[in-house]
Structure 1
C-alpha cells in the first residue's frame, strides 16, 4: 500500500474520530461518503469498510455479510481505525468545551452539505 494512501486513510480516520467525539457521528456520515468520493470505493465497499472499522462488538454480523461478498478491505480498516481512535479522543476533548448550540449547528450543516452533494452532484 502506498504511503500517500496510508496517510490519507489515517487522516480520514482522524477527521471521522474528531467529528465522532464532537457530535457523535463518524461511520455513515463521514467515512462512507469520503471512501466513495475521495478514495473511489463503491458504495458497498465503503459501507463494508466502515463497518469493518467499527466491527467489534457492534457490527460483527453485518461485517461478516459484507466480507462474504468481498466488500471489506481490512488493510483500509486498520489504518482508518487508528486515525479514528486518535480523532475520537481529540474530538471528545474539544466537544466538552464547545456550547451545545454550536455543536448542533456544526452537525446540521455537515449533514446538509452531504445531502446536497448526494442529491445534486453525485455522478451515478
Structure 2
C-alpha cells in the first residue's frame, strides 16, 4: 500500500468520524461510496471492509461525548444491537450471492429514499 493511499484512507476515516460525531452517519453514507469510487474496491469489498471497520470500537470517543450529555439510552442500544447482530449475519449471508451491480443499485436507491425523506418530509 502506498503512502498516498494510506493518507487517503486516514483522511476518509477522519471525514467519516467527523460526520459520525456530528450527525450520526459514516459507514454506509461516507465510507462505502469512497471505497468504491476513490479506492477502486467492489461494492462487496467496500461493504465488507466497512463492516470490519465498525467491528472495532471506532466510535467510542463520540459515544463518550454523547454519554456525558445524557444522550444515550442503553436500553435502546442493547435491543438494537441484538437485532443488528442477527440482521448483519442474515444480510451478509444473503448479499454474497447477489451481483455487485445489483447491490450498487439497491444502495443508491436507499440513499435517495433517505435523502428525499429528510429534504421534503421531515419537520
Task: Give the TM bin, normalised by the shorter chain.
Answer: 0.5 to 0.7
Alignment gaps of 5+ in structure 1: 1-24, 30-53
**Shift >3 Å, 4+ stretches:** 25-29
Q: Spell out the pairing of 1:57-72 with structure 2 (5 A cutoff).
A: 57-72=57-72
Contact 1:66 1:72 (8 Å CA) reproduced: yes
Question: Cα offset for 1:118?
Answer: 0.4
TM-score, normalization: structure 2? Answer: 0.55
Q: Secondary structure at 1:72's aligned position in 2? A: coil
Q: Secondary structure at 1:57's aligned position in 2? A: coil
Question: Cα offset for 1:107?
Answer: 0.3
TM-score, normalization: structure 1? Answer: 0.55
Alignment gaps of 5+ in structure 2: 1-24, 30-53
- Indicate the RMSD between aligned Cα atoms, in angstroms: 2.5
Tell me which structure has the larger Cα radius of gyration.
Answer: 2
Number of residue pairs aligned between Structure 1 and Structure 2: 75
Contact 1:55 1:63 (8 Å CA) reproduced: no
- 2:87 equivalent in structure 1: 87
Q: Kindly indicate whether structure 1 or structure 2 has the higher relative contact order, using CA contacts under 8 Å at least 6 residues apart.
A: 1
Distance 1:110 1:76, change over 3 A: same
